[in-house]
């Protein structure tokens, strides 16, 4: 799937304007929080936040800046799940999930060296991903997606345990964000 298709999917899941008191993210439109919109120069009311600006933020902040475009070159399915993770949990969380999963799947560093789970995708992480894909192929890519989804599910449950108001969202997170 292309980045435009991934953005379309996020826009469909996130919907339009929302201002749920239980949502720690506060006021949003198209899934973009007011804080993120302001950080990108938007000064108007969130009810009027333009979809074109949301698309650009998704592309630049949640795809290109964290180098998920480079991940997708090696493993498109992994790039897609990491994009959704970056949007919903933050780019550094997405990168850390990839790094942790790669480390856990490298057979004691026999297939490729461990990477530091620092939340930033750089040359070492991309080399590990390349080594993983070369060793495990397309089936391995699906296994890597499953490992990332397991980490996502655990994080959602932990969020609901730590902040009881997030229990309101747990069912939807698991139903809509976990494959």
Tens of pLDDT, residues 164-175: 999 999 999 999
- Mean pLDDT over 20-29 rounds to 86
Cα three-residue angle 64-137-68, rounded to 5 degrees: 5
Q: Is the pLDDT of residue 179 over 90?
A: no
What is residue 47's predicted lDDT score, i.e. its pLDDT? 96
Rounded Cα gap, residues 76 and 130, in angstroms: 12
**pLDDT tens column, 30-77:** 999 999 999 999 999 999 999 999 999 999 999 999 999 999 999 999
Q: How far from the centroid of its chain's Cα atoms is residue 110's Cα?
A: 28
pTM: 0.94
Q: Is the pLDDT of residue 24 over 90?
A: no
Q: Is the pLDDT of residue 1 over 90?
A: no
**pLDDT tens column, 90-118:** 999 999 999 999 999 999 999 999 999 99
What is residue 25's predicted lDDT score, i.e. its pLDDT? 80
- Mean pLDDT over 145-154 rounds to 98
What is residue 23's predicted lDDT score, i.e. its pLDDT? 82
């Amino acid at each position: 799937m292309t980045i435009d298709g991934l953005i379309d999917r996020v826009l469909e899941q996130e919907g339009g304007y929302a201002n749920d008191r239980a949502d720690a993210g506060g006021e949003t439109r198209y899934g973009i929080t007011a804080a993120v919109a302001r950080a990108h120069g938007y000064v108007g009311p969130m009810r009027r936040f333009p979809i074109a600006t949301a698309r650009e933020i998704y592309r630049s902040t949640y795809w290109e800046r964290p180098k998920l475009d480079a991940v997708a070159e090696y493993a498109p399915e992994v790039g897609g799940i990491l994009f959704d993770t970056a949007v919903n949990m933050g780019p550094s969380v997405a990168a850390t999930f990839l790094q942790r999963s790669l480390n856990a799947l490298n057979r004691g560093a026999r297939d490729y060296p461990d990477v530091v789970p620092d939340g930033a995708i750089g040359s070492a992480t991309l080399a590990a991903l390349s080594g993983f894909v070369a060793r495990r192929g397309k089936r391995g890519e699906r296994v890597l997606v499953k490992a990332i989804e397991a980490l996502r599910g655990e994080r959602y449950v932990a969020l609901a345990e730590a902040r009881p108001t997030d229990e309101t969202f747990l069912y939807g997170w698991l139903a809509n964000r976990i494959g």
